[in-house]
């Protein structure tokens, strides 16, 4: 389901025609070698494409406009090998509309002490040329990523790789289409928001459909297709009857299989990548979509419960940004549900009524069938599991009335201390950074929601850079957070983002 273009990044080296052909040929040779070796590192999620050295206003402007027009180009990496007078860059930068990185590197790692002369210095002056270029980008208030260090350093390559995922998130954000088959849950504030502003800021299309249109698509799924999917479920997951009649249990599971197929066909037909539902608005559906939604999330769809289209879009965005990642640990919607406040064991039990993505599961996944305490439908089947240990980020995008704010909390996911045999939903359990109490206080001061878009596979820096590229505020709750400073951050945001 995660459909993405074969994105590439352009590598543009700046110079000028003052240095003579011999110097410029070395500049080109060096930048080609850097591009080749970066591509061969095996660490980059996308290919880098070398471009001829940029030495004139005309060429710079033309190259940036070609980058704009090339559908596969997800951003430009710039580097000044020599000195490139930065007024030459103004027109090109003014017209450039894609993610920009300034790689502040130089070809040689060490100063060649024995042989260095003025010719060498004039040819290798990134320390000097990159400052001239950086100045104009700052003066023009253009959002860009600056990465400093030798291009062969694994840390530098890791930063380029990480930024590429952010850049693809920036590019793909404007293709996200969210289907609402239910409105926001009545009276709930934090899941609401300005959909027009979200389309202006993020490019998201958020459209409503009557629930019974998708319910018709579900009803149209044949019994044989449904049964084939039920067989797949029974092969893949443990079946926990818990005293229920096996045939009756299977009929409940089949309802979810039919919903999965009907929803997926409807989403594909209408070209949507994320969906919201609401337990209180199910039309002709026999069960709240549980297992069905969990499977769709696993396939790469975004999801938000109770009409929460912001979370649906964010989950989709994070799934795109982590697509194809080696050893990915998963991305899901989650909800802060219940605390453990025992000293030294503090944490937040994360769950939802049903809809947690199985990509975050650790160990076996079971199907259970249990009544819902809310709503008026038959007992829905759902996937139940616990989640992986380790570091992750929980994000909440909120609408403050005049603007959006992205709250990003680093969290440490842990095993539940004990089994919870009576809890029939998938869970995660984490302790927010810097500690349970500061983390929760900061989250509440920032206005963070109870629904989050969570991932093990992205960093706060990546999501913060995405937010900055969208022109919205990002606030970080992590090991450095102190409430007094955090409140100042929020106050600064009030002034800066209007
Ligand atoms: Mn909820």
Convert the pLDDT of each residue in 457-471 to its tens digit. 999 999 999 999 999
Q: How far is the CA of 273 from the centre of ligand 1 (A)?
A: 20
Across 382-399, b (16+ Cβ under 10 Å) vs e yields bbbbbbbbeebbbbbbbb
Q: How far is the CA of 196 from the centre of ligand 1 (A)?
A: 23
Quick one: average pLDDT of 256-271? Answer: 98
- Band the pLDDT of 356: cuts 50, 70, 90: very high
- Band the pLDDT of 291: cuts 50, 70, 90: very high
Residue 4 has pLDDT above 80, yes or no: no
Q: How far is the CA of 304 from the centre of ligand 1 (A)?
A: 8
Q: How far is the CA of 305 from the centre of ligand 1 (A)?
A: 5
Convert the pLDDT of each residue in 155-191 to its tens digit. 999 999 999 999 999 999 999 999 999 899 999 999 9
Q: How far is the CA of 239 from the centre of ligand 1 (A)?
A: 26
CA angle 94, 95, 99 (to 5 degrees): 90
Average pLDDT over all residues of the chain: 96
Using a pLDDT cut of 70, give the percent of the chain over it: 100
Q: How far is the CA of 334 from the centre of ligand 1 (A)?
A: 8
Convert the pLDDT of each residue in 427-468 to its tens digit. 999 999 999 999 999 999 999 999 999 999 999 999 999 999
Q: How far is the CA of 468 from the centre of ligand 1 (A)?
A: 27
Residue 196's contacts (CB-CB under 8 Å, 6 or more residues apart) are none
Strand 302-304 to 347-351 pairing: unpaired
Q: How far is the CA of 373 from the centre of ligand 1 (A)?
A: 13
- Band the pLDDT of 256: cuts 50, 70, 90: very high
Residue 19 has pLDDT above 80, yes or no: yes
Q: How far is the CA of 88 from the centre of ligand 1 (A)?
A: 52
Contact 277, 297 (CB under 8 A): no
- Rounding to the nearest 10 degrees, give the CA dihedral for residues 269, 223, 297, 448: 90
How high is the pLDDT of residue 2?
A: 75
Contact 498, 402 (CB under 8 A): yes
- Band the pLDDT of 96: cuts 50, 70, 90: very high
How high is the pLDDT of residue 133?
A: 97
Residue 80 has pLDDT above 80, yes or no: yes
How high is the pLDDT of residue 104?
A: 98
Q: How far is the CA of 335 from the centre of ligand 1 (A)?
A: 6
Q: How far is the CA of 473 from the centre of ligand 1 (A)?
A: 24
Residue 251's contacts (CB-CB under 8 Å, 6 or more residues apart) are none
How high is the pLDDT of residue 374?
A: 77
- Band the pLDDT of 18: cuts 50, 70, 90: confident
How high is the pLDDT of residue 376?
A: 79
Quick one: average pLDDT of 245-272? Answer: 97
Q: How far is the CA of 493 from the centre of ligand 1 (A)?
A: 28
Convert the pLDDT of each residue in 44-75 to its tens digit. 999 999 999 999 999 999 999 999 999 999 99
Residue 5 has pLDDT above 90, yes or no: no
Phi and psi angles of residue 152, each rounded to the nearest 5 degrees, phi first = -90, -10
Quick one: average pLDDT of 416-425? Answer: 93
Return the closest-CA partner of residue 12 out of 61, 72, 63. Answer: 63
Per the listing, tokens 């299977």 go with: 250
344: left (phi over 0), alpha (psi -120 to 50) or beta: left
Specify the 3-state DSSP secondary structure of 181. Answer: coil
Q: How far is the CA of 215 from the centre of ligand 1 (A)?
A: 22
Q: How far is the CA of 235 from the centre of ligand 1 (A)?
A: 30
Phi and psi angles of residue 466, each rounded to the nearest 5 degrees, phi first = -60, -45
How high is the pLDDT of residue 336?
A: 98
Q: How far is the CA of 333 from the centre of ligand 1 (A)?
A: 10
Q: How far is the CA of 396 from the centre of ligand 1 (A)?
A: 13
Q: How far apart are the first and last CA of the chain?
A: 37
How high is the pLDDT of residue 225?
A: 98
Q: How far is the CA of 182 from the centre of ligand 1 (A)?
A: 14
Q: How far is the CA of 412 from the centre of ligand 1 (A)?
A: 22
Return the closest-CA partner of residue 201 out of 461, 476, 469, 495. Answer: 469
Contact 10, 101 (CB under 8 A): no
Q: How far is the CA of 266 from the centre of ligand 1 (A)?
A: 24
Q: How far is the CA of 295 from the centre of ligand 1 (A)?
A: 18
Q: How far is the CA of 95 from the centre of ligand 1 (A)?
A: 42
């Amino acid at each position: 389901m995660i459909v993405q273009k074969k994105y590439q990044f352009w590598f543009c080296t700046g110079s000028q025609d003052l240095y003579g052909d011999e110097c410029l040929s070395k500049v080109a040779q060096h930048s080609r070698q850097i591009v080749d070796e970066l591509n061969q590192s095996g660490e980059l999620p996308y290919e880098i494409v070398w471009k001829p050295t940029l030495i004139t206003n005309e060429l710079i402007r033309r190259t940036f406009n070609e980058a704009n027009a090339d559908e596969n180009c997800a951003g430009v990496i710039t580097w000044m090998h020599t000195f490139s007078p930065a007024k030459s860059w103004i027109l090109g930068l003014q017209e450039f509309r894609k993610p920009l990185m300034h790689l502040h590197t130089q070809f040689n790692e060490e100063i060649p002490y024995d042989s260095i002369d003025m010719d060498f210095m004039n040819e290798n002056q990134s320390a000097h040329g990159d400052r001239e270029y950086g100045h104009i980008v700052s003066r023009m208030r253009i959002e860009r990523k600056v990465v400093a260090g030798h291009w062969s350093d694994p840390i530098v390559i890791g930063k380029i790789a990480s930024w590429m995922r952010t850049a693809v998130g920036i590019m793909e954000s404007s293709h996200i289409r969210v289907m609402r088959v239910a409105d926001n849950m009545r009276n709930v504030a934090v899941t609401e928001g300005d959909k027009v502003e979200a389309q202006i800021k993020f490019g998201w299309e958020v459209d409503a459909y009557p629930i019974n249109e998708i319910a018709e698509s579900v009803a149209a799924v044949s019994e044989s297709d449904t049964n084939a999917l039920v067989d797949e479920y029974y092969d893949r997951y443990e079946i926990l009857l818990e005293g229920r009649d096996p045939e009756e249990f299977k009929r409940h599971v089949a309802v979810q299989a039919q919903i999965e197929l009907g929803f997926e066909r409807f989403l594909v037909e209408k070209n949507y990548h994320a969906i919201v539902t609401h337990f209180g608005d199910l039309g002709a559906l026999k069960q709240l979509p549980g297992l069905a939604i969990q499977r769709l999330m696993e396939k790469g769809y975004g999801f938000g419960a109770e009409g929460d289209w912001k979370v649906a879009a964010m989950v989709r965005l994070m799934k795109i940004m982590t697509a194809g990642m080696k050893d990915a640990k998963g991305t899901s919607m989650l909800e802060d549900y219940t605390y453990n406040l025992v000293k030294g064991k503090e944490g937040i039990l994360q769950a939802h009524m049903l809809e947690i993505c199985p990509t975050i599961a650790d160990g076996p996944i079971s199907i259970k069938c249990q009544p819902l305490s809310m709503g008026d439908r038959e007992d829905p089947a759902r996937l139940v599991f616990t989640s992986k240990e380790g570091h992750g980020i929980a994000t909440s995008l909120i609408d403050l009335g005049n603007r959006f704010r992205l709250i990003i909390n680093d969290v440490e996911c842990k095993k539940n201390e004990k089994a919870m045999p009576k809890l029939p939903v998938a869970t995660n359990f984490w302790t927010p950074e810097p500690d349970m109490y500061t983390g929760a206080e900061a989250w509440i001061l920032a206005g963070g929601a109870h629904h989050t878009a969570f991932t093990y596979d992205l960093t706060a820096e990546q999501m913060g850079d995405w937010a900055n590229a969208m022109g919205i505020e990002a606030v970080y709750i992590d090991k450095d957070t102190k409430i007094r400073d955090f409140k100042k951050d929020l106050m600064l945001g009030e002034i800066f983002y209007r």
